[in-house]
Amino acid sequence: MAAHITAASPGGPRYDAALTPAERSAQSNGIWLCQNCGKLIDSDVARYSEETLRQWKGEAEQRALKMLQNSDDVSDALVLALPQLDSFDSLLTFASTAVGRIGREGEIEELKSFLRADADFAWWIWTGSAGSGKSRLALELCRTVTGEWHAGLLREGNQTALGGLQPTRPTLIVVDYAAQRGEWLADALLHLSQRNLCAPVRVLILERRAQGPWWDSLQRVHRMEESFQIQACSYGLPRELEGLSRSESRRLIEAVAKRAGVELTSTNVEDIADHAAKMDPEGRPLFVLVAVLDWLDGNGISADRDGALRRLVARMDGQAVQAAGSPQIRLMRNVRTIATALGGLSADDYAQLVRMLTPPAGLLPDVYSDFHLVPLDDLLDGVRPDILGELYVLDQLTAIGAGRIAVMALLKMAWQTNQGAYRAFVERAAGDHREHDCLVDLLDVSDWSASEACARMAVDVIPLLQRNDHPVLDWVFSRLASVRQNTTNETMDELTVVAHFRRATLVLHEGDARRANRLYADALAICATDWPVRSDILNNRGVTWMYLGDQHAAQNDFSTVVESSTATDERRACALNNRADIFDSYGDTSSAIRDRTAVLALAETTYNRRFIAHIRRARTLWNLGDLDGAYQDIDSILGAPDIVTEQKMSARLQRAEWLIETGLAVRAISELEFVCSSERNFDSVEGRAKELLSHLLENLPK
């Protein structure tokens, strides 16, 4: 609809008496808006001023012009979801509005700063373990900025439109379950980084951890030219979402109880908070909610975390069973099991699954089946939140006889349907329930006759086990050995070495450098010289030598990687930086500078390796009295588009400390003020900058 910027008659919104009648009816005084926005701007004149509307109009006209000039394969049609559930039963889902947000004010402001960043396109990943509230926080942000931004969650069924997006208004896209969408997401980020956008685009990525094969794939670490472009658009380092404080947990407990119509005493609140802290010392909001529901159950609190989760699963299952009716119970549970193992299914995907895989009679219903009061679409969402769904599936595997056979068949079908989604489910389950007796069964349902994909999934689970004596490890090595006996396959041999490397790394993380050193040596003994993992083994064994005080042996391992004709630039850069540290410890500064310089000459290294080389070379040069050379390294860090803001602030702090050292306090104050005003900082850098700035300001001449 066409709307007036300044009203056509006196008393109307933004009426300007200075305009002539012709000017009021002119095209220059008009703006095209939808009906909702047309009503909105006239109901809040203070917010939607004449200046604001004219700015909108000018920007829209510029965007339209750009779109006409760049009308290749682009689209502004992006379907984003803003789910909302208000019932008390939905309390544990991220879309629940049954209880308002408690805390997280600082995090919301951080995310708003991300939106305000001076860039057409930027992406940022937020991480956190299950139940930390990532999805809920992202949804709260979307609700907060909706209207000004086209904001919401991008479902897998709609994701193909992202790479070719050309928005006509600011757009915030939330991508959850990123690990199972890594390849597609990397393509989309690359295309957006190369596109001349008509309006700002922000991609907020959510996942448990920013590490592993999916993270390498997202960053394109094996295609460094593309990696540079993607990383240059990163807003900051991965941001880990922490738990709630004790006071915030209390407020959440009281809010849930109030919604449930229950009045708690202060002692009740503290008892529930203690129960939540016992289940989860991290203070994750999900477990505060679980603790309240466990207490409200009225049958005494559960003994541990999994006991409370099982009570909730039993309640959810019981409600569905009652609604479905007895003849459909088994089929209903089977649908929930396969849907949970795939992270949820659409009705279309389920219909295709049933049609393509032809499950045995009686295992799964068809898409038209009637479950009375339980819609099939609800069952196809799976059991949520994830940590409950994982436990639901694992506990299904404890069945005996025909029940267990059915569950194993369902999980095999999940693997056949979507290996990426099933792998992501297994990795989440291993992270959340690593001590469950049936965890190994999740690895055993895949088709080991096509062994490479199965072996890769099993090997990728090893770091998630977090202890080197985990029984799943013995199963993995036994299965790998069995496959290798029956087939000659170099990939399987290489994956076996990777498994040994990862087990040794678990030992290293447990603090046993000597045993880790021996395990790395065993892995090297069976590793071909041209396998990429060989450089990883040598670099890590070099670290163990350093822990053991044998600098010479460490230097030899790092030198082997540096001189290798098959090592990637990234692995060589790691070895060079480590070897330079050894040279620095010897006082051999010329060799240290040489190695740092060699890192910077490599064509395909990540921003982190180059930052380390620049900042440590700068410090060595400064100590040698080469002030200009040291400052040049700082300038190189600040000028690199893909080195993140946190690292750049660390470099500025270093420069400020040098300025103080040379008596240039006024210039140092300027640097420190810049660091303190940055919206992205390492905590230690910000704290040190504030301390130095306060001291300098207190001692300025009056």
Q: Let me know if residue 191 belongs to a domain.
A: yes
| CATH code where residue 203 lies | 3.40.50
What the block records as the tokens of 75 is 């689209």
Residue 406 shares a structural domain with residue 436: yes
What confidence category does residue 474 fall into, taking pLDDT thresholds of 50, 70 and 90? very high
Question: Residues 6 or more apart from 653 whose CB is under 8 A from it?
Answer: 671, 672, 675, 685, 688, 689
Average pLDDT of span 659-681: 96
> How far is residue 352 from each of residues 15, 419, 693, measured CA to CA in Å?
59, 16, 64
How many helical (H) and strand (E) elements, i.e. helices and strands, does the chain have? Answer: 32, 7
What the block records as the tokens of 493 is 């041999």
* pLDDT score recorded for residue 65: 59
Where does residue 689 rank: exposed (0-12), middle (13-18), buried (19+ CB within 10 A)? buried
Instruction: Identify which of 524, 515, 497, 509 has the alpha carbon closest to the alpha carbon of residue 465.
Output: 509
> pLDDT per residue over 73-125, tens digit each?
445 568 899 998 888 888 998 888 899 999 999 999 999 999 999 999 999 99
> pLDDT per residue over 387-419, tens digit each?
999 999 999 999 999 999 999 999 999 999 999
Pairwise CA distance, residues 566 & 530, whole Å: 6
* pLDDT score recorded for residue 47: 65
Where does residue 357 rank: exposed (0-12), middle (13-18), buried (19+ CB within 10 A)? middle
Q: Let me know if residue 687 belongs to a domain.
A: yes
Q: Let me know if residue 79 belongs to a domain.
A: no
How would you classify the pairing of strands 150-153 and 239-240? unpaired
Residue 437 shares a structural domain with residue 473: no
Q: Name the CA radius of gyration of the chain, rounded.
A: 29
Question: How far is CA 156 from its chain centroid?
Answer: 16
Q: Let me know if residue 477 belongs to a domain.
A: yes
Residue 254 shares a structural domain with residue 331: no
> How far is residue 413 from each of residues 356, 359, 418, 445, measured CA to CA in Å?
10, 8, 9, 9
Final residue belonging to a domain, choices 284, 301, 318: 301
Number of structural domains in the chain = 6
> pLDDT per residue over 301-329, tens digit each?
888 999 999 999 998 887 766 665 566 78
What the block records as the tokens of 653 is 């702090």
Q: Let me know if residue 83 belongs to a domain.
A: no
> pLDDT per residue over 187-225, tens digit each?
999 999 998 888 999 999 999 999 988 998 899 877 878
Residue 264 shares a structural domain with residue 339: no
Question: Residues 6 or more apart from 493 whose CB is under 8 A from it?
Answer: 484, 526, 528
Residue 138 shares a structural domain with residue 188: yes
* pLDDT score recorded for residue 72: 47
Average pLDDT of span 278-293: 96
Domain that holds residue 114: 88-240
Pairwise CA distance, residues 95 & 89, whole Å: 12
DSSP-derived secondary structure for 179-221: GGGHHHHHHHHHHHHHS--SS-EEEEEEES-S-SHHHHHHHTT
Final residue belonging to a domain, choices 240, 262, 278: 240
> pLDDT per residue over 160-173, tens digit each?
888 788 898 999 99
Instruction: Identify which of 581, 587, 643 has the alpha carbon closest to the alpha carbon of residue 616.
Output: 581
Residue 438 shares a structural domain with residue 452: no
Higher-confidence residue of 202 and 487: namely: 202
Instruction: Identify which of 574, 578, 580 has the alpha carbon closest to the alpha carbon of residue 592.
Output: 580
End-to-end CA distance of the chain: 62
> pLDDT per residue over 492-514, tens digit each?
999 999 999 999 999 999 999 99
Pairwise CA distance, residues 99 & 594, whole Å: 59
Pairwise CA distance, residues 239 & 107, whole Å: 10
Residue 221 shares a structural domain with residue 159: yes
Residue 618 shares a structural domain with residue 502: no
Residue 337 shares a structural domain with residue 197: no
What the block records as the tokens of 292 is 């309240």
> What 8-state DSSP symbol labels residue 88?
G
Residue 323 shares a structural domain with residue 278: no
> pLDDT per residue over 505-557, tens digit each?
999 999 999 999 999 999 999 999 999 999 999 999 999 999 999 999 999 99
What percent of the chain lies above the pLDDT cut of 70? 93
Residue 257 shares a structural domain with residue 218: no
Query: Tokens 């404890």 belong to which residue?
Result: 398
pLDDT at 71 over 60: no
Q: Let me know if residue 230 belongs to a domain.
A: yes
Final residue belonging to a domain, choices 411, 443, 475: 443
What percent of the chain lies above the pLDDT cut of 90? 71
Residue 127 shares a structural domain with residue 233: yes
Average pLDDT of span 175-187: 91
